[in-house]
Amino acid sequence: MARPPADGRRARGERRRRELLAATLRVIERDGVSGVSHRSVAREADVPVSSSTYYYATLDDLLIATLTWSAREMALGFGAVKPTPGSVARFLAEAVGPNRGRTLAEYELYLLAARRPELRPAARRWITLLSSVFGTMQPAAFLGFAAALDGLLIQGLIADFPPTAEQMEPVVSLLMPPR
């Protein structure tokens, strides 16, 4: 009964924090990491610039928060994928098709992580997630499989026409031994 009103200062603050992250992700999807500035994000989120610096004092804070958040979100979305060639191929096709922007953002994270150790755990979340789903494979086979998924995604991003699930399925099949 001493429950505070549901949108007090703190609640609205948290919401704005998330809105800033979402706006940053949209900017990254549209213009890449290099398009992110306190001002471009503030414009995208329709808030004053100082609001962005209030919640994320430096650009780095904002970028790191956005990319780790995005990686967590993406990992959640992978939960629905079943360990069958068809399901995996469909996931890949969607990643380089409808979710292309998001996938691009994910690989910008990869590259940023190569230069900034603090981003590496977030970048590797994807790999550990894979191992939790396909962990029953032989170690070497799994490593090759996981690497191939990354390669198929990144190559799909620079193709003139994004590959379809039908085109990818035989490749995935070959990498996934039946047992």
Partner DNA sequence: AAACTAGTGGGACACCTGTTCAACTAGTTG
Partner DNA sequence: CAACTAGTTGAACAGGTGTCCCACTAGTTT
Q: Which does 23 bind (CB under 5 to 8 A by kind): DNA, a copy of itself, none?
A: none
Per CB under 7 A, 5 contacts DNA: yes
Neighbour-count burial of 51, counting CB atoms closer than 10 A to its CB (0-12 exposed, 13-18 middle, 19+ buried): middle
Q: For residues 54 and 170, what is the distance between their CA atoms, to the nearest angstrom?
A: 50
State the amino acid at position 136 in one-letter form: T
Give least dist CB 51 to a copy of itself, A. Answer: 24
Residue 36 contact partner, candidates a copy of itself, DNA, none, CB within 5 to 8 A by sort of partner: DNA
Backbone conformation region of residue 170, classed left if phi is above 0, alpha if psi is from -120 to 50, else beta = alpha
**Residue 90 partner contact from DNA, a copy of itself, none using kind-dependent CB cut-offs of 5 to 8 Å:** none
CB of 113 vs a copy of itself, minimal distance in Å: 5
- Enter the tokens of residue 168: 């990818």
Contact 162, 93 (CB under 8 A): yes
- From the list a copy of itself, DNA, none, pick the one residue 48 interacts with, judged by a Cβ distance below 5 to 8 Å according to partner type: DNA
* Residues at the site binding DNA, with contacts judged by CB under 7 A: 4-5, 8-14, 16, 36-40, 47-54, 57-60
